[in-house]
Amino acid sequence: MATGGVSFLRHPRPEAAPSVRRAVPRPGGASRLEQRDRDHFREYLKESPLFAKSYDFIRWLIPQTVKFPREQRFVLAHRLQATAMDFMECLYHATDKPSQTAALAQADVKLKQLRFYLRISHDLELLDIRRYEHASRLLEEIGRLLGAWKKNVTAGSPVEAQRNPS
């Protein structure tokens, strides 16, 4: 005995329905936690050219990979975007002193992967020569900044100081 419609999905009395608490947006549009995170991120961008250049690279990369053909969008484009995001996460992890060396080493691996994915994108003619050169220049500069940070960290580490007691 089916009744007409799907009344079992509706609450019999709307006034008796359980209330759903919704997040009320703050006047600034963000919660305190979100605002703190945004401010923290802006400080990284101001202090470190590596964070700023990496952020700019990701902002450039995502629109480029969206233009990839459908069959490559879910393979190569996804790998490029995910690796770029992972690289940025490694940089954030490197701001913590205890895991700094390991995070910088992981960031270096991610940078090498990015270079490989960009090269294969160019070889498959998914990126033209102009875009490939632009991306290569950006990654070269990011690599120099990352290398300088790694050198600075290893020069200041106690293990390195024990190896070079001069």
Paired tokens of 120: 């294969």
96-112 confidence digits (pLDDT tens): 888 899 999 999 999 99
Residue 120 maps to a domain:
yes
Residue-number span of the structural domain to which 147 is assigned: 48-153
Tell me the CATH number at 104.
1.20.1440.60
For the chain, how many structural domains are there in total?
1
Residue 76: DSSP 8-state = I
Residue 40 maps to a domain:
no
Residue 15 maps to a domain:
no
pTM, full prediction: 0.67
Residue 98 maps to a domain:
yes
Residue 21 maps to a domain:
no
The residue ranges of DSSP E strands in the chain, in sequence order, are none
Distances (CA, A) of 104 to 12, 49, 107, 111, 162: 59, 15, 5, 10, 21
52-73 confidence digits (pLDDT tens): 999 999 999 999 999 999 988 8
Residue 30 maps to a domain:
no
CA separation for the pair 135, 123 (Å, rounded)? 14
What HEC string does 35-55 produce? HHHHHHHHHHHHHCHHHHHHH
